[in-house]
Amino acid sequence: MIDMLQLNQDAQTIVAAHPELALPLSAPPAVHYSRDDVVYRTAKQACLALGFIEIDAECLALAWLAMAQRTGRFDPQAWPDEPADFGLRPWPRDDAFAPCPKVLGLYAVLPSADWVGRMARAGVPIVQLRFKSDDAAAIRREVQAAVDAVRGTNALLFINDHWREAIAAGAYGVHLGQEDMEVADFTAIRAAGLRLGLSSHGYAEMLRADRVSPSYIAMGAVFPTTLKRMATAPQGARRLHAYARLMRDYPLVAIGGIDADRLAQVMSSGVGSVAVVRAITAAADPEGAAAQLQAQMATLRAR
């Protein structure tokens, strides 16, 4: 029989040992268990108390159980970050998408082909076209224009969402959200040689993205952002550190509310790329802002 008093005490010890990972709770969470193991139950209770959503708390609890079984002891001071404890397959993988640089650098997410060309000519190494339209012909034109706009530069172009058009136009890669994974033809994208980036917003989505073996994984939103309605709360820089340790075999992109003032705490997580939107597009001097961010990133990496 599980000693509930001891379980609660151990869960409180985990919470006390990792306050930097906590997010505010709007209400006490309901705890649903998928197994009886005491380590699993202790870890899940603790992770819910730290503000992890149910599906992420479940992933963490199972990983904590695997960690305890691997090491032969339960350590509330530890935090699971070994890929095998989360069921991640080792590398290299035969089904992996084409690789991209481990350190992608500054990643500008841009609303039009004109912006793509402008930032590519300014020396931004990674540009993404995030073009929103219900007009299929307009999408095809904009994607092709973006591919044409980076020609002759060193910029690598990812197309957000529109994977068919990206294949047809010969883009470098495509970036998809979790919802797009339901409908995208990964076989076609892989066969075309395109790189694949996938968004994630926590442990469960990182594990789901990993099953596809993409070229990179984006993690966020790190800070509050007004540009996109998020299903999860901003994760904060300390959770980003934990995510980056787990997914260390991938090129990693941090995204969400990042600007020059927040760059240092993001880069200290070990991510090789930082995606920005308004830090460039809303700047009085976008080219100057891009140059400043790149110089700041280079300084932080050198440290």
pLDDT score recorded for residue 26? 75
- Considering only 5-9, 190-194, 253-257, 296-300, which range has the smallest mean pLDDT? 5-9
* Residue range 233-292, pLDDT digits in tens: 899 999 999 999 999 999 999 999 999 999 999 999 999 999 999 999 999 999 999 999
Instruction: State mean pLDDT over 42-56.
Output: 95
DSSP 69-126: HHHTS--TT-----GGGGTPPPSS-TTPPPP--S--EEEEEESSHHHHHHHHHTT-SE
Q: Please, which residues have CB within 8 angstroms of residue 15's CB and are 6 or more apart in sequence?
A: 22, 46, 49, 50
Please state, in angstroms and rounded to a whole number, the distance separating the CA atoms of residues 48 and 11: 10
Phi-psi region of 38 (alpha: psi -120 to 50; beta: other; left: phi over 0): alpha
pLDDT tens digits, 16-32:
999 999 998 877 777 88
Instruction: Return the CATH architecture of domain 105-302.
Output: Alpha-Beta Barrel (3.20)
Amino acid at 295: A
Instruction: For residues 21 and 267, give the distance between their C-alpha atoms in angstroms, rounded to a whole number.
Output: 17
Residue 254: Cβ-neighbour burial (10 angstroms; 0-12, 13-18, 19+): buried
Identify how many contiguous H helices and E strands the chain contains and give both numbers: 12, 8
DSSP 182: G
Coil, strand or helix: which one is 196?
Answer: strand
Domain boundaries, the chain: 4-82, 105-302
pLDDT in tens, 192-216: 999 999 999 999 999 999 999 999 9
The DSSP call for residue 30 is P
What's the residue count for the chain?
Answer: 303
CA–CA dist 41, 39 (Å, integer)? 5
Q: Structure pTM?
A: 0.96
pLDDT at 154: 98
- What interhelical angle do 4-17 and 38-49 show, nearest 10? 50
Burial of residue 177 (CB within 10 Å: 0-12, 13-18, 19+) is: middle
- Is pLDDT above 90 for 7? no
